[in-house]
A and B are shown apart, each in its own frame.
Chain A
């Protein structure tokens, strides 16, 4: 998903650069505040780790293979702000050393992969963990379950949470990327969105699976190395997450919302066919995508949206099953 130079235009590059600079600056400040000096080299090493991990081929079918991107994984291991810094570092080195991703496109790439991916991934991870804490089927009364959170319910919760979060983060980052390409006029939204979203719904499965498996491997061998506890009964990180949330919302509003608001075009044609014919309110920003001549393209957008919703549900269930499969229930609980 590394956007090369020339694929996004000046205004998109500037806007993304500004948003990303704010986000990364904030992450750096946050990390400086919460990371003990002993752990400072860990950021650089985690970035090197992520780079090396991205080179590992996970075979899929035929000659294809999946690779880890890792924003959500690092966020689950080290916290959201550390993840932002780590992934930004990886992107900068990839850009300058390996020419993977453009220089002017750095702003966009950092927003999509470092900020959006890590932060949204982390938020969803936490939310799902919270669900498990509250509604896990074998959740026993507090007095019987150790507060440390180690235990089959929690382990399963972690696996499900990280798998689902990584999938969502991947798909959302792809949608944002599509928005940026469309806003630049490189590829129209009506093509970019379905293409990027569907492809990444599949790629995201690999990402979710790999993230969960790797997290579990670390969690089982050296849980003490995971600095991020994501204990949901503590209000920690609330302020941090709110600020990131605002930034991400701003980005999404700029890159996705104008197009999303013109979805009514797609739904409209469906509505007209069935005789409803009411017009949706005009979008906030004028829809940049020109009226597409190809028939049926509007269906693609609507279909993608439906697929996305259905996909999330399916992936969540799959993630649940994966948790059960990977973390066997001990007989004496």
Chain B
């Protein structure tokens, strides 16, 4: 998954959906996802209703349509696989239709919520439902530094590539492995410096 798929351009739309409280969005999303998975496929009313709600929300959110469509496309290989497998089965149609509809609706729900809610707010909601503090801290730190490390690995890879004149795959793998190894070392050293910075401001 490319880091660049994150919708974090600075011209962030500020719609009604964006301004809704995170807890509400997450709660509604959870209900939609759970219900969609549990409800049998022939209760068409439910699925149509959810689809309408999601499309309306997508419209209100001012998120670019192309962006939404591209994210949904990620599902296609999975759905195709299920379609192929179930094509030869007697109960096949129900099966692949169920999977296709449910997965698309659930994914759209998550896309809408995550692109209209700042991550720190999502974390705050998780904290309020008593997710253990150590896990929250770890998630927060990961989110904070994943862009930093992604940039670092890209820079290292480019620097290595600039000095690679052979086309051998073996050499390439070795180089890449060294880069990844270096990344771990840098990440560990940075973790120590972060600890020092926390202590410097009074963390106990």
B interface size (C-beta, 8 A): 79
Beyond the given A44-B140, A59-B169, A97-B6, could you list 4 further A-B residue pairs with CB under 8 A, ordered by the A residue number? A9-B38, A49-B184, A214-B177, A217-B181
A-B contact pairs, 16 of them (CB 8 A): A5-B102, A10-B38, A37-B195, A44-B142, A44-B144, A45-B142, A47-B146, A56-B157, A56-B180, A77-B184, A102-B103, A103-B33, A103-B110, A187-B82, A215-B181, A290-B89
User: Is B80's beta carbon under 8 Å from chain A?
Assistant: no
**Per-residue interface assignment for chain A, residues 37 to 76, with 1 indicating a CB less than 8 Å from any chain B CB and 0 otherwise:** 1111111111111011101111100000000100000000
Query: A181 — nearest CB in chain B belongs to which residue?
Result: B82
Which of A83-91, A148-156, A300-308, A313-321 lines the interface with chain B? A83-91
B98, B141, B185, B192: the one within 8 Å of A44 (CB): B141
Query: In B137-169, which residues have CB < 8 Å from any A CB?
Result: 137-146, 148-150, 152-153, 157, 169
Is the Cβ of A97 less than 8 Å from the Cβ of B143? yes
Residue B134 interfacial (CB < 8 Å): yes
Q: A41-B195, A44-B145, A48-B142 are known contacts. Are A97 and B119 too (CB-CB below 8 A)?
A: yes
The chain A residue sitting closest to B139, CB to CB, is: A89
Within 8 A of A (CB), among B71-124: 71, 74-75, 78, 81-82, 85-86, 88-89, 95, 98-107, 110-111, 114, 119, 122
B176 within 8 A of A: yes
Of B3, B5, B37, B178, which is within 8 A of A10 by CB?
B37
Query: Whole-angstrom distance from the CB of A55 to the nearest CB of chain B?
Result: 6
The winner among B33, B36, B99, B198 for most chain A CB atoms within 10 A is B99
Give Cα distance in the complex from A46 to B137, angstroms: 13
Check: A265 CB closer than 8 A to any chain B CB.
no
Classify the interface of chain B: helix, strand, loop or mixed. Answer: helix
Interface SS of chain A: helix
Contact of A5 among B107, B135, B183 (CB under 8 A): B107
Cα separation A46 to B191 with both chains bound (whole Å): 9
A51 to chain B, nearest CB (A): 5
Please give, as numbers and ranges, the residues of chain B lying within 8 Å of A45 by CB-CB distance.
Answer: 141-142, 145, 149, 187-188, 190-191, 194
Interface residues of B in 21-69 (CB under 8 A from A): 29-30, 33-34, 36-38
A31 to B138, CA, bound (A): 12
